[in-house]
Amino acid sequence: MENKYNSAPEQETGDFLHIAPVKEDWGGDGRGCMNLSGRRTAISKEYVPRQYQFFDINTVQEENGWRVPGMPENVAPGRSRLLTWHDCGASTSRVVLLPEFEVPSGFFTADLEIFVLRGAIQLGEWQLSKHGYSFIPAGVRVGPWKVLGGEEVEILWMENGFLEYKKALKDHPDARLHEFIPALDSKLLPWGKTDTVQFLKASKKWLRKDSNGGGVWLLAILPHYDSMYPMIQSYNEESYCLVGYCDIGNYRFVKDHLAYCSSFSTVPRHITDDGGLFFVRVDRDLSQVATVLSYAPQDT
C-alpha cells in the first residue's frame, strides 16, 4: 500500500523541476521551497492557522507497505507514520526501512530531506548513520540505496512536493547540484550561537541554510533554560525532540514528540531543568528583527 499523499499527479516528463513553490503564509515568496506553510497534521486533518500543535509520534497509526511511487516492485516495503502534510504534496513522515531494503540508483521528482534517527544506510558511495542528514534536490541522482548492519533504519523523511522515484544512472540536466548535501554527519559539526535573544542558553548546528535564510538545524537547549515569556513566531516551524525535554506551557515536549507551529502562533513560555536536543526546520531567517517576539500578555 502506497501512501495516498505520496502519489504524484500526471506531469509532463522533465517538467517537474519547474513547478512553482508554494507561497509562504507569512508573506514570503516561496524561494526556500520548504513548503511548511498551511500544513495539516496527524492530530488535525484541517490546517489550523496561528496555532501550535504538539504530539507524540508513537500515538500516530503506523502504515505498512510504504514505498515511494516509481520504486521497483521488488523493493522491500517499509512502514511509515504520516506526521504533517500539505495539498501540494509536501509531507513529513517517520519511516522505517527493513534490513532487506535495496533500491537501484535514480532521482526523485521533488526535493527530499532525510535525517536518520536509528541505524545506518548506504547512499551510493556515502553512508548515513544516527543523526546523519542529507538534502537531495529534485533530479539529482543518488544511490544505489541499501540498509546496513542487518537492522531496521528509522528516518525522518521530508518531501517538499509530490515525490516519485525514477531509475537513472545520471542527473537530470536541470538538477540543482549546487544544493546537494549527500551525507552530513552532524556529530562532526561545531556548535554555534543561535540567532535570537530568546535562546541565549542554547547552541545551534546548521545542517542546511536555504536561499531565504531559513533552513534546518539541531538545537541544544542547555539546562536551567527559561524563556520567561511566551513567544510570537512569525514563521512556520517543525521540530522533533531527539533527547531530553522542554516544558512549553503545560505540555512536556520529550523524545519522539513533534511540534508544528504555524506562522504567527503565540507559543507559551519554555522551561527546562535538564535541557534537550531538537531537530528543527524553519522557513524564514530568524536573525531578522521581529521574526521571534517575546510577548507578555496584559492582564484583563
Q: What is the pLDDT of residues 173-204, one digit of tens each?
A: 999 999 999 999 999 999 998 877 677 778 99
Predicted confidence (pLDDT) at residue 171 exceeds the cutoff of 50: yes
Predicted confidence (pLDDT) at residue 12 exceeds the cutoff of 70: no
Tell me, what's the pLDDT at 40? 96
Q: Report the amino acid identity of residue 192.
A: G
**278 in the same domain as 246:** yes
Average confidence (pLDDT) over 14-42? 82
**222 in the same domain as 178:** no
Beta bridge partners of 267: 231
Question: 230: closest CA among 242, 248, 245, 246?
Answer: 248
- Quote the number of domains for the chain: 2
Tell me, what's the pLDDT at 7? 38
Q: What is the pLDDT of residues 59-108, one digit of tens each?
A: 999 999 999 999 999 999 999 999 999 998 999 999 999 999 999 999 99
**156 in the same domain as 238:** no
Predicted confidence (pLDDT) at residue 3 exceeds the cutoff of 50: no
**256 in the same domain as 197:** yes
Domain coverage including residue 178:
4-187
Domain limit, last residue, from 187, 213, 242 = 187
Beta-carbon contacts of 213 under 8 Å, excluding residues fewer than 6 positions away, are 284, 285, 286, 287, 288
Tell me, what's the pLDDT at 13? 46
For the CA atoms of 115, 117, 119, 120, the dihedral, rounded to the nearest 10 degrees, stands at 10
**Residue 282 vs residue 198, higher pLDDT:** 282
Question: Is residue 132 a part of any domain in this protein?
Answer: yes
**71 in the same domain as 180:** yes
Q: Which three cell numbers stand for residue 72?
A: 521497483
Question: Is residue 65 a part of any domain in this protein?
Answer: yes
**Least confident span in 17-21, 131-135, 227-231, 272-276:** 17-21
Tell me, what's the pLDDT at 299? 59
Q: What is the Cα–Cα distance from 271 to 187, expressed in whole angstroms?
A: 26
**138 in the same domain as 16:** yes
**113 in the same domain as 67:** yes
In the chain, DSSP finds a helix count (H) and a strand count (E) of 0, 26
Cis peptide before 72 (omega within 30 of 0): no
Domain limit, last residue, from 187, 202, 222 = 187
Tell me, what's the pLDDT at 160? 93
Q: What is the pLDDT of residues 118-143, one digit of tens each?
A: 999 999 999 999 999 999 999 999 98
Judge whether 80 and 98 are in contact, CB under 8 Å.
Answer: no
Question: Is residue 300 a part of any domain in this protein?
Answer: no
**How far is it between the farthest Cα atoms of the chain?**
65
Tell me, what's the pLDDT at 23? 84
**61 in the same domain as 207:** no
Question: Is residue 164 a part of any domain in this protein?
Answer: yes
**179 in the same domain as 245:** no
**133 in the same domain as 235:** no
Q: What is the pLDDT of residues 202-236, one digit of tens each?
A: 899 999 998 888 999 999 999 999 989 999 999 99
Question: Is residue 290 a part of any domain in this protein?
Answer: yes
Beta-carbon contacts of 117 under 8 Å, excluding residues fewer than 6 positions away, are 94, 130, 131, 154, 155, 156, 242
Tell me, what's the pLDDT at 76? 95
**145 in the same domain as 261:** no
Question: Is residue 299 a part of any domain in this protein?
Answer: no
Domain limit, last residue, from 140, 159, 187 = 187
Tell me, what's the pLDDT at 15? 65
**Least confident span in 52-56, 69-73, 294-298:** 294-298
Compute the mean pLDDT over every residue in the chain, rounded to the nearest whole number: 90
**228 in the same domain as 139:** no
Tell me, what's the pLDDT at 28? 85
Domain containing residue 252: CATH number? 2.60.120.10
